Amino acid sequence: MNIPNLLATHARKYPNQEALVTPTERLTYFEWNRAVNKLANSFHQFGVQQGDKVVLHMPNTKEFMITYFAVQRLGALIVPINAKLVEQEVSYILNHSDAKVFLTHELLFKQVEALSETKDLIFIKTGERIGEWLSFENLLADGSEKEVPCSLEENDEASILYTSGTTGAPKGVVFTYRNILTVARMICIEMTLKPESKVLHMMPLSHSAPLHLFMVAGTYVGATHVLVPTFTPELLLETVAKEKTTHFFGAPIAYLASCKHPKINDYDLSSMNYWVYGGAPLSQQEVNVVQSKFQTDRLICVYGLTEAGPNGTLLGFDEHQTKAGSIGSRAALDCEIRVVDENGADVKPGEIGEIILRGEGNMKGYYKDPEQTAAVLRGDWLYTGDMAMQDEDGYFWVIDRKKDMIISGGVNIYPKEIENLLITHPNIADVAVVGVPHSDWGETVKAFVVKEGEVDNLADSCKEFLESKLADYKIPKLYEELEALPRNATGKLLKNQLRERVIN
């Protein structure tokens, strides 16, 4: 089995079933599959073939959904990346992934238009053709409707998702069809997806949870995908009420921000069967607020990480009454969990160790990085870097991370990437970036800076310096000036002291 053939099957099985719903259009499974064939045939004319890498830089639109499946029809690897990434970040991924084709949306074109001047790739954008940039719509119109079969099997490579490492350089996580279908099937069973289901996609489909757990899972059963290119509380509430959606995945901030909408009680949200959140836990107090405002007892927490598919654990509906803040007491379908010490031995309840996961959702490895692959994939087990303990009732609680990753609004942010850029600021001598607690976002980004020379407004200067180099969600919101950063005798930065400084 492979992913693109699922779509072809449903085009025959449910030709008139609504497949894609956007703010302006509605496509059936037959129409979606026809568009996929047309784009795949046009790609084929440009020489796209098995093993090629196609980077997809788009928000949640029908063009994203058509491209994802068209690329895989040809046996090429799809590489979806965050729509907020700017030229410098995209350029790295294009080089590292050995990309042959790059697609973007006209809404994002200004962020990346200069890439065609320095890269020898096939460049495609939605809207009109501009210079070297081909028109997506023209390719779609010119393509043959001839069915493009995909003969790839479950162990063949399907995609690469980029997730940064502690060095700051993004790492390409390679998935096989087996990896993705395993976690999609898990969601289908654990969260009762059916052809009658309507899945709302507002979180970026470039992220593994929205993409693999809900987009692929929805396609697996022939459900309807409701696509919204961006998130706002009002759009969430309006879309659920209008489209009668049944499943939604969002970061905790999506729920907490929506709770503050002054007219939330005016919306009928009763169609929803699963309100799913992940990326960070919700506290008991936050759960109580969300359940009250959304008038639901259908909250479910998922824990996992990109390298695991993502697969991991679940915290179910009833468990939120007593164990909110934990990640549940059992691994999800087709996954196993252990908490181990530095030697790989299981720790006792109440003791802190590292979460490791085993299952067929685990990645094949990091692209062109066997050393890092070997560091996290040891035998059948994936070492997550998340430190946790299991309580006397068997529930797992994440305590901290081995690495310094920041999770803000469910999105991973890596301090080293920011530090490497800020240190090149002409008025910065030293810098350290940490995550600090934030009531809505889980964490926000703070930079501790040692200045060199005079700066009128440190925060404004740093933000202006970074805005063309980093996506806005990575740019620190808080800044503090220090005479010197705390370091040990060997010069190693002591970030724990900076975090304690924030808390105290």
Q: Which residues pair with 77 in a beta bridge?
A: 53
Residue 319: the pLDDT is 97
Helix (H, G, I), strand (E, B) or coil at 428: strand
Helix (H, G, I), strand (E, B) or coil at 281: coil
Are the CB atoms for 59 and 226 separated by under 8 Å? no
Residue 400: the pLDDT is 65
Domain borders along the chain are 1-152, 406-503
| Dist. CA 363–CA 85, nearest whole Å | 23
| Dist. CA 280–CA 327, nearest whole Å | 9
pLDDT digits (tens, 9 = 90+) for 369-421: 999 999 999 999 999 998 889 999 999 998 766 767 788 998 888 788 898 89
Mean pLDDT of the residues in the chain: 94
Neighbours of 56 (CB within 10 A): 23
Are the CB atoms for 334 and 182 separated by under 8 Å? yes
Give domain 406-503's CATH superfamily: ANL, C-terminal domain (3.30.300.30)
Do 1-152 and 406-503 show the same overall fold?
no
Residue 482: the pLDDT is 94
Q: Which residues pair with 122 in a beta bridge?
A: 101
Are the CB atoms for 389 and 352 separated by under 8 Å? yes
| Dist. CA 266–CA 268, nearest whole Å | 7
Q: Which stretches of the chain drop beneath a pLDDT of 70?
A: 164-168, 400-401, 403, 488-492
Could you tell me whether strands 157-164 and 170-176 are parallel, antiparallel, or unpaired per DSSP bridges? antiparallel
Contacts of 373 (CB under 8 A, 6+ apart): 365, 366
**Could you write out the DSSP letters of every residue in 403-425?**
S--EEETTEEE-HHHHHHHHTTS
| Dist. CA 109–CA 364, nearest whole Å | 32
Q: Structure pTM?
A: 0.84
DSSP 271: T
- The interaxial angle of helices 458-466 and 415-422, nearest 10 deg, is 100
Q: What is the CATH number assigned to the segment(s) 1-152?
A: 3.40.50.980
